[in-house]
Structure 1
Amino acid sequence: MSALLSSSSDLTAWRTRVQSYPSPETYSPVHANLALVALRNSQVEHFGFTLAVFKDKVAIDANGNVLVLSDEDYTSLMALANQAVELPDTGSFRNTWRIDHPVTEKPIDRLLIAVGTDMKEVSVQGYDKVKKTLKDPVGDITELPSVLGDLIEAVMKGREGYTFQRNQVDPESVQKVKSILGEE
């Protein structure tokens, strides 16, 4: 599934190809326009925001930057997201794929992907670039599917330059996204 990405369109480098949205304060996120949202839940960051991607190819990152994705990056990102929702359901809360770690309190990266008018969730707990073995197999699958690893790697670029601080106030653009999700 990683074959979707050629070296020239490596999704982990999407930030190097984005453009700033003209007049970012004027962008008004609408729920019906959501394509993909990545959130992070951890012991210290209960409703962490990573990235929102909209159908008009606009993205909002964890720092509140309003960006415009290239056509190729948007298409590749959504192809991965659509493959991720086709994976078998894990049967666990929030459809979570759990990486086998000796400790249990690892962050959960939540992916909300638009399917028609609904948002389907696929989550990964304890994502690690190297460690792929699942705590509990999903059917015959014993390792994290590469499509999920590729998607997590790409969306985590939305946290570049972001540092969580207790009691911080989210940037206005992030607040707008959280409000249309109904999870503040």
Structure 2
Amino acid sequence: MLSADPAYDDIPNSRPYAPLYRSCASHCTSAWHSGPNKLAALSTKPLFLALTALVGAYLLWYHLPASLEFYPHLSPSWTSSDPTMSSEHASAQGWHARANPHPSAASFAPTKDALVFAALLNAPADPQGFTLALFEPDLAVDARGRVLQLRPQDFSRLAALAREAAQLPDTGSIMNAWRVAHDRTSQKIDRLFVKTPGGDVRETSVQGWHSEKKQLKTAVAGHQELPPVLQELFGDIQEGRTDFVRGQEENDDLISQVKTLVGN
């Protein structure tokens, strides 16, 4: 039942359909008090029907979101704000924070069959460093030797980037490194080892990766800047060193096993 109750007066005048809303409410209230016959006659008029539909759309548009706050189980999938659910091509940035400790970490045994890629580090302070390895299904070993269960969307994105990176042309440099231009020399080298469909391991490295630097020291196959796939992937790989302190690894033996899989 529509009424002329003052509660309806809270509709902001800036909303374009508010005057129509009040007009329809006024007509309906008048018809109701004049008796059911007049209301029935009014309901057959095109203008009344149009105004009723407009008011219904208005209520749905402005009041449904507020209702869903109180009844979240009624919320449709398109209202989700979880960025990890948006697309298979969504960024994996933040994957480490979203991962969980694997419940059977103690019994995990890395195999080459399950390997997707491994990322090692060659730096002045850590020449034989280890950063990250990915294994099917949805597993990762980080720099501290922790076995993590990744969200499927994050795992898929990381794996897709690694496989795309393995298809880039050779650089002609040692470790097949793409060298980012820096003012200082002796930049670290992040080394990526990706298992190919044939079972071999292909290395692609980036020397001097930096979140804000892309210009290459020497162009590679027409590339003046670090390819976007490498810029994104090696940024994601850095998360594997979250909370890492050299000498305080939790599972040195596991890290050694992973390195052996890629010949290091």
What TM-score comes out, normalization by structure 2 length?
0.63
CA drift of 1:178 comes to 2.2
Distance in 1 between the 2:121 and 2:255 partners?
13
What TM-score comes out, normalization by structure 1 length?
0.88
CA drift of 1:169 comes to 8.9
Q: Which residue of 1 is the match for residue 77 of structure 2?
A: none
User: What is the number of equivalent residue pairs in this alignment?
Assistant: 177
Distance in 1 between the 2:135 and 2:190 partners?
19
Which of 127, 131, 136 does residue 209 from structure 2 map onto? 127
After TM superposition, list the pairs within 5 Å mapping 1:138-157 onto structure 2. 138-157=220-239
Amino-acid identity (%):
37
Task: Give 2:205's aligned amino acid.
Answer: S
Aligned-partner SS, 1:131: coil
- TM-align CA RMSD: 2.0
CA drift of 1:7 comes to 4.6
Q: From the CA coordinates, give the structure whose radius of gyration is larger.
A: 2
Task: Give 1:125's aligned amino acid.
Answer: Q
Question: Would you say the 8 A contact 2:143–2:249 is kept in 1?
Answer: no
CA drift of 1:107 comes to 0.3
Q: Which residue of 1 is the match for residue 70 of structure 2?
A: none
Question: Would you say the 8 A contact 2:120–2:129 is kept in 1?
Answer: yes
CA drift of 1:170 comes to 5.8
Q: Which residue of 2 is the match for residue 70 of structure 1?
A: 151
CA deviations 1:3-44 (Å, max 9, x no partner) are xxx954431211122121113111011122210101110112
CA drift of 1:102 comes to 2.0
In structure 1, stretches of 5+ residues that fail to align are 1-5
Matched, 1:137 2:219: yes
Higher helix share: 2
Question: Would you say the 8 A contact 1:38–1:51 is kept in 2?
Answer: yes
Matched, 1:51 2:128: no
Distance in 2 between the 1:78 and 1:99 partners?
23
CA 1:151/1:24 → structure 2, altered by over 3 Å: closer, same or farther?
A: same
After TM superposition, list the pairs within 5 Å mapping 1:90-109 onto structure 2. 90-109=171-190
Higher RCO (CA < 8 A, seq sep 6+): 1
CA drift of 1:58 comes to 1.2
CA drift of 1:172 comes to 2.8
Distance in 2 between the 1:41 and 1:169 partners?
20
Which of 113, 118, 131 does residue 37 from structure 1 map onto? 118
In structure 2, stretches of 5+ residues that fail to align are 1-81, 85-89
Distance in 1 between the 2:157 and 2:127 partners?
29
CA 1:114/1:136 → structure 2, altered by over 3 Å: closer, same or farther?
A: same
